[in-house]
Structure 1
Amino acid sequence: MSTRRVRARPGEGNRLREEILRAAEQLLIEAGTEDALTLRAVARQAGVTTPSVYLHFADKEALVEAVCLRAWDELGNRMRAAAEGVADPFAALGRRGHAYVRFALDHPVQYRILMMRQNGCESTSQASSACFQYIVDAVATCVHAGVLRGTPETLALGLWSAVHGCASLLIAQPAFPWPEDLDAWIYDVIAMAGYGAALSSRVPRKTRPSSRELTTELDRLKTRFTADRA
């Protein structure tokens, strides 16, 4: 049973807010859904009165969003750390994509609430903007290096669709028989999206190659790479 804490002294408001957020985060993760998260339950978990929670959060929705946004700085840190020491910008882009999906899987409840809900809100917009900008920054490096061609924002939208789709499916369909080596499969999905973007950004829309032409050219490329590495 939680112990009632004494009233916070002046200047301790931020600490109390943090304690409330930690308590709410624990409850959210344990329940797996925001439906079980009530301000009364959070107050009980944090050892404070329900009015104390209302002093920091106007309602349940505000508390849930604040809890979810706590994790979002970690996403940026993970994506930057994943590319540290990787000189090849295209390889660094792949590492960042993998870090994105892994972040979503490590924080499935927060990711689902902020990135998979139909009704958008200010916090959802904040989370989406942050995700998008992380990917734009990585793509811009590839455009500068010449491996991708086009506007970073436009290219990033396509690649974001790939990593978000991968993460969303894994979160929404946990019982699906996914490959045993999940990390390898995630890298394969990211590779397909990345190589597809590199190829697509070089082929004008009005002159898309036929299946036969594409097969011939790709087989030539495969032969050349195989010979170079033999």
Structure 2
Amino acid sequence: MTVRPFHHGNLRAVLLEQAEILLRAGGADGLSLRELARHAGVSHGAPRSHFIDRQALLDALAVRGFERLTEAVRAALASEASIERRFRAVGHAYVDFAVDDAALMELMFAAKVSDPAADVEQAAGRLFATLDAAMADASAGAPGADDRDRFKLLFAATMQGTATLIASRRVSRDQGDAIVDDAVDVLLGSPLAHRAVPRR
């Protein structure tokens, strides 16, 4: 096993990178501070200088995942102009992340649901605020917050379901891409979308 050399100042980043490798290999259940220390080639106490316990490590991984997904969504939004194209781009970015980082995605939303730490809640909030940007239209009146929240949850659930179909090999990646495009067309044509995402 080759571990990247580190200096004192970047030990936390190295530990998180190694923790992601362990997470992909064995899921969250197999991740412990002791195993992380062994895998990273440091003393058993070294991880505790950055993560007080295992839950703090899991929360830090969840925050890292939310930040990475938020950046992917922002990049998708920046590349497209129309609301339809923005949602397709965001949908593809979301599904790509959920397929390529399935264990991290599962950890992120598990951490958010079960009594989330403040930093996890804030990181998840930034993701949903970024999704709000995809729904923005300068010419539109302000839709009800409830409709917007329902639409965001429906959109995320649909993309997560598509990612699950791809990850379980029930559909191919190409079929999944087509499902994303079709789902966006259906979602944006719904009465809920016309209330939550008003357009010209």
Q: Counterpart of 2:158?
A: 166
The answer to whether the 8 Å contact 1:79/1:99 transfers is yes
Say whether residues 1:92 and 2:86 are aligned partners.
yes
Residue 39 of structure 1, CA deviation: 0.9
Q: Counterpart of 1:52?
A: 46
Give the percent of matched residue pairs that are identical in Structure 1 and Structure 2: 24
Q: Give the whole-Å Cα distance in 2 for the aligned partners of 1:176 and 1:64.
A: 27
Q: If the length of structure 2 is used for normalisation, what is the TM-score?
A: 0.79
Q: Give the whole-Å Cα distance in 2 for the aligned partners of 1:2 and 1:45.
A: 9
Q: How do 1:9-158 and structure 2 match up within 5 A? A: 12-31=7-26, 33-116=27-110, 118-122=113-117, 123-140=119-136, 142=137, 144-146=138-140, 150-151=142-143, 153-158=145-150
Residue 75 of structure 1, CA deviation: 1.8
**Aligned partner of 2:95: which letter?**
V
- CA displacement, residues 142-173 of structure 1 (integer Å, 9 cap, x when unaligned): 3x234xx5427444312321232124434556
Unaligned stretches of 5+ residues in structure 2: none
Over aligned residue pairs, what C-alpha RMSD do you find?
2.9
Say whether residues 1:177 and 2:173 are aligned partners.
no
Partner secondary structure for residue 189 of structure 2: helix
The answer to whether the 8 Å contact 2:96/2:163 transfers is no
**Aligned partner of 2:10: which letter?**
R
* Number of aligned residue pairs: 192
Q: If the length of structure 1 is used for normalisation, what is the TM-score?
A: 0.70
The answer to whether the 8 Å contact 2:66/2:124 transfers is no
Say whether residues 1:192 and 2:186 are aligned partners.
yes
Q: Counterpart of 1:206?
A: none
Partner secondary structure for residue 112 of structure 1: helix
The answer to whether the 8 Å contact 1:139/1:152 transfers is no
